[in-house]
Amino acid sequence: MKTITQNLQAIKNSLNNNQIKLVVVTKTRTPEEVEEAIFAGATSIGENRVQEAEIKFSKIKNLDQTEKRLIGRLQSNKVNKAVKIFDTIDSVDSLKLSQKISKSAESIGKKQRILLQINSSGEKTKTGFGFDSKEKILQCINMPGVEVEGLMTMGPNTTDINLITEAFYKTKKLFDEIKKTDKANITTLSMGMSGDYKIAIREGSTSIRLGTAIFGPRE
């Protein structure tokens, strides 16, 4: 069985020519596992839950130089805490949530980096902006207290390569449309996880989120 270090190095080597950002998904992983990943070269980690992350971050050594990202759904009552402990919030799925983050960040003099989540599959179990939400996305971009770095989506829950490809293609198209507007300075298109990241890269992803491919299946 390959180690965390071996898995991470193999993936990083495969991404070298693509200039793809790798976010290591550390949800449910132990502080020791996260430390091994950081020692092996992980520069960005993603957590799903605010409370779990706060406890874990306090136990991890050498975290100062590591980018901390919230990749799970953010509840309104956890916004203030999330703004304090995360460098970037990748799962902003509504105008209302963006407004709350904006207000919270302004209150502590912070410019909170965020990604806007797109519901590219249309699945009812997923949240996010639709492909017809261009105006709302631009409203978020113009808000004080936040810096919209780009868009994020999760591929559909299917093994159908055509459906996955279509979801990523449409998200890239929306990304390009937003990017053409005068006030949008977005650079990040976060698409792709352990099961579909190769498709996402082909469709224009600039950032992928990998957990299982690095740590192995959860026990």
Q: Can you tell me which residue has the tokens 């209150």?
A: 107
Q: What pLDDT does 217 receive?
A: 87
Q: Per-residue confidence at 17, pLDDT binned at 50, 70, 90?
A: low
Q: What is the pLDDT of residues 140-164, one digit of tens each?
A: 999 999 999 999 999 999 999 999 9
Q: What is the pTM of this model?
A: 0.95
Cβ contact 36:8 at 8 Å:
no
pLDDT digits (tens, 9 = 90+) for 31-83: 999 999 999 999 999 999 999 999 999 999 889 899 999 999 999 999 999 99
User: What tokens were used for 82?
Assistant: 């999330």
> What secondary structure letter does DSSP report for 203?
T
List, in order of start, the domains of the chain with CATH numbers: 4-215 (3.20.20.10)
Instruction: Tell whether the model's pLDDT for residue 184 goes beyond 80.
Output: no
Burial 95-124 (b: 16+ CB within 10 A, else e): bebbbbbbbbbbeeeeebbbbbbbbbbeee
